[in-house]
Amino acid sequence: MECNRCEEPSVMHAAYSGAHLCEAHFRESVEKRVRRRVRRDDLVPHDATPENPQTWVIGLSGGKDSVVLTQLLYDTFEEDPRIELVGLTIHEGIEGYRDKSVDACIELADDLDIRHEVVSYAEEFGVEMDDVVEDDPENMAACAYCGVFRRDLLEEYAEKLGADLMLTGHNLDDEAQTAMMNFLEGDVAQIAKHFDASLGPISEREDQDAFVPRAKPLRDVPEKEVALYAHLEDLPAHITECPHSSEAYRAEIQQLLYDLEENHPGTRHSILSGYEELAGIVANRYNGDDEEGADLRECVECGSTTTRERCRKCSLLDALV
Ligand code: SF4
Ligand SMILES: [Zn+2]
Ligand SMILES: [Zn+2]
């Protein structure tokens, strides 16, 4: 097959758009989608200047998504003194998995010469995920502990590093799955929160004083295309799955979306665009009667923002040690 835009051989076919693209045109199309998303989500504020640059902290896990995001943001802003990129890597303490992906992060940050911080559950909390899985005092899935610890460290370090924005490498498949899960759980309040936390254009979000705003500029690019981009660019990405991965419900939704996409190409795109529009509408509707915000306070033990007396992380850590 030939590329639709030139005479080179095509390296990919996107059933949802009908496009066949050669390597160069495929790369260009990924880059365009990410830049368009950065623009549409208003990620660069109008008052950013070289003297007062924005610090963008990228959650860099070493998987293909965060590695591709980091590379693309670097290429986009390399010559732009208004944006400073920092990579933030979290080491959960998972034998045979995280060590290699941390190496991938270090290699990339070295190649690009960007600031890079590695923080670990072991140093910060005195626990490693491998032991947490063994102990399991709350009888929960591994990811339920891990998610609480990760969110806590991302928040803390985003703050410490002076982040204006926290970026993560969620791709189209991830976000379409999350959208479906929120729909199917009937959790409209969660949909509204999603808009204000990471999905809406920055200028349209309700101010979240307690939290650094998040963004997901890779969310228009399907997972397979992210993987192909990483491969073509020969990026240092670590591909294996975490051995404790336990998100059974998400895996079910993922399979459902694969099947739907196969028979109805474009399903992921339409789910996400419909979801984003709805999220904007419900966020508007929920804002104003914002009881959630009024209940926020500081954890008595660690001082992080929480709705309880002691935050979830501190309770989990108490149960663990
Ligand atoms: S899959 Fe679960 S346990 Fe593994 S790193 Fe991710 S959140 Fe943690
Ligand atoms: Zn071409
Ligand atoms: Zn706490």
> Ion ligand 3 — residues with CB under 5 Å?
299, 301-302, 311, 314
Question: 218 CB less than 6 Å from ligand 1?
Answer: no
Above 70 in pLDDT, residue 291?
Answer: no
Cβ contact 67:60 at 8 Å: yes
Least confident of 77-86, 155-164, 165-174, 241-250: 241-250
Cβ contact 62:89 at 8 Å: yes
Above 70 in pLDDT, residue 293?
Answer: no
At residue 288 the predicted structure's pLDDT band, cuts being 50, 70 and 90, is low
Question: 153 CB less than 6 Å from ligand 1?
Answer: no
Residue 28 C-alpha to ligand 2 middle, in angstroms? 9
Cα separation of 221 and 93, whole Å?
30
Cα separation of 195 and 278, whole Å?
9
Residue 242 C-alpha to ligand 1 middle, in angstroms? 6
Residues contacting 83, CB < 8 A, separation 6+:
44, 48, 53, 54, 56, 73, 77
Closest ligand to C-alpha of residue 97 is 1
Closest ligand to C-alpha of residue 312 is 3
Cα separation of 107 and 123, whole Å?
22
Question: 244 CB less than 6 Å from ligand 1?
Answer: yes
**% the chain with pLDDT above 70:** 98
How far is C-alpha 205 from the geometric centre of its chain's CA atoms?
18
Cα separation of 5 and 10, whole Å?
10
Cβ contact 320:132 at 8 Å: yes
Q: Phi/psi of residue 244, each to 5°?
A: -95, 0
Residue 24 C-alpha to ligand 2 middle, in angstroms? 6
Question: 90 CB less than 6 Å from ligand 1?
Answer: no
Nearest CA to ligand 1 atom 3: 143
Residues contacting 243, CB < 8 A, separation 6+:
94, 96, 97
Helices 223-232 and 64-77 pack at an angle, to 10 degrees, of 70
Q: Which of the 8 DSSP states describes residue 9?
A: B
Q: For 178-194, how does the pLDDT look when each residue is reduced to its tens digit (9 = 90+)?
A: 999 999 999 999 999 99
pTM for the structure as a whole? 0.93
Question: 242 CB less than 6 Å from ligand 1?
Answer: yes
Length of the chain: 321
What pLDDT is stored for residue 28 in this prediction?
Answer: 97
Cα separation of 237 and 230, whole Å?
7
Residue 221 C-alpha to ligand 2 middle, in angstroms? 18
Mean per-residue pLDDT over the chain, rounded? 93
Q: What's the CA dihedral at 114, 155, 140, 67 to 10 degrees?
A: -20
Residues contacting 281, CB < 8 A, separation 6+:
none
- C-beta atoms surrounding 222 within 10 Å: 19
Residue 146 C-alpha to ligand 1 middle, in angstroms? 6
Nearest to 224 by CA among 10, 15, 25: 15
Cα separation of 62 and 197, whole Å?
23
Q: Which residue has the higher pLDDT, 290 or 232?
A: 232
Residues contacting 18, CB < 8 A, separation 6+:
none
**% the chain with pLDDT above 90:** 83
